[in-house]
Amino acid sequence: MGKKTGSEFIKSLELKGVSRRDFLKFCGTAATMLGLSQLYAPKIAHAIESMSKRPPVVWLDFMECLGCTESFINATHPEVDKIILEILSLEYHEAVMAAAGDKAHQNLWNAVERENGELICVVEGAIATKIPSAITIGGMTSMAIMTKVAKASKAIISVGTCATHGGTQAASPNPTGAVGVEEFLRSQGINTPVINLPGCPVNPENIISTILHYLLLEKLPPLDSMSRPKNLYGATIHDNCPRRGHFDEGRFVETFGSKEESLGYCLYKVGCRGPSTYSNCPQVLWNNRQNWCIGAGAPCIGCFEPYFWDKFKDFYKPLPDVELLGVKTSADKIGIAIAAATAGGVAAHLIGSAVKGRLGKSGEGKGKEDKEE
């Protein structure tokens, strides 16, 4: 990336109708999103000012429902028009681009050729491997397009559970052989770095946080063993759930629409997957931080977890068993166990800590060796 001076940059920004004040405010938001102190805002401002051109991004859509694009265009920190007009150069995105047909596809291949090695590739949707023509674009299969674009990309950001782990269509019996991007590329011996941002849909704040990290700090964020940024996927929903106190005290919703629901009790017994789901939902929420699933009285379905459609199926039934102080127990027993433990003088939060992160396979992210950049 070439450099230019700060004053040149501000001048060009002002021409775009963005004031210096707006810009610094944006940098402050960026700092917060990266988990940095506000003191970093001037550094971020400097990093952006030094960019001579907007970084080129291509967004590929494969086996998906466009929900992740829809989620992305709801971005509010910063708003999506700023992202596509002033921050990134969105070279290809079927759902928003003006061109169509061959002319649209030409934009993709032009970007691949022109920006070879500099391209950031965002992928929404899974790759079809068993029925390759279950997804085609411009006469090419997802396998063919992904292979070609991956080779020209500096990094790939897989957004949403379809792109990270095959998603909905990969649920058993996976009729089309849908797989996530990382799995597909590695099977082809392609080693382009992949960042996984699972979620059904992806949270727009997580996309922006990742892109900003990459642009401003010029490196990938620290990743766990499943290539997820540690700062975004490091804790379970249960760890940070505002209803956690009710869990610890054994107060549960047993039926929707009940008095317990209106009191905001814990949703564990109606199927909440929060204890097994690594996600920053409780902090960033959704739709301009308006609300989230648990806030609407509904149990988390664990959509940030790989293979959640199968791993967590029977969504309205409680997680089959929970390891509590080393002993596996069922939902019905949990309240009793907690009551007994509390009576015995054990602090409720201690039991809570014993429960967290021990369910199903989702512990993988913590147990195994982590990836660094």
Choosing from 165, 213, 246, 266, the catalytic residue is 266
Question: CB-side exposure of 6: number of CA atoms within 13 Å?
Answer: 9
Answer yes or no: 121 catalytic. no
Contact 41, 24 (CB under 8 A): yes
Yes or no: say if 221 and 195 are a contact pair by the CB < 8 Å rule: yes
* Nearest distance in Å: CB 326, other proteins: 30
Q: Which one of the listed residues 93, 105, 162, 246 is annotated catalytic?
A: 162
CB of 277 to other proteins, least distance (A): 13
46 noted as active-site residue: no
The letter for the amino acid at 318 is P
Active site residue 27: no
Query: How many CB atoms within 10 Å of residue 81?
Result: 10
Length of the chain: 373
Closer Cβ to other proteins, 201 or 352, answer by number: 201
CB of 250 to other proteins, least distance (A): 21
Identify whether 68 is a catalytic site residue.
yes
What's the sign of the alpha-carbon dihedral 159, 165, 167, 170?
positive
CA–CA distance from 325 to each of 272, 301, 319, 337 (Å)?
20, 24, 17, 10
Instruction: Give yes or no: 246 in active site.
Output: no
Nearer to other proteins, 140 or 348 (CB): 140
**CB of residue 211 vs other proteins: minimum separation in angstroms?**
15
241 has catalytic annotation: yes
CA angle 197, 203, 204 (to 5 degrees): 105
Q: Tell me the closest approach of the beta carbon of residue 48 to other proteins, in angstroms.
A: 15
- Catalytic site residue from 93, 165, 246, 293: 293
The angle formed by the CA atoms of residues 217, 38 and 240, to the nearest 5 degrees, is 90
CB nearer other proteins, residue 195 or residue 301: 301
Specify whether 93 is catalytic: no
Of residues 97 and 190, the one with the C-beta less far from other proteins: 97
Cβ closest to other proteins, residue 95 vs residue 327: 95
The residues annotated as belonging to the active site are 65, 68, 162, 200, 238, 241, 266, 272, 281, 293, 300, 303
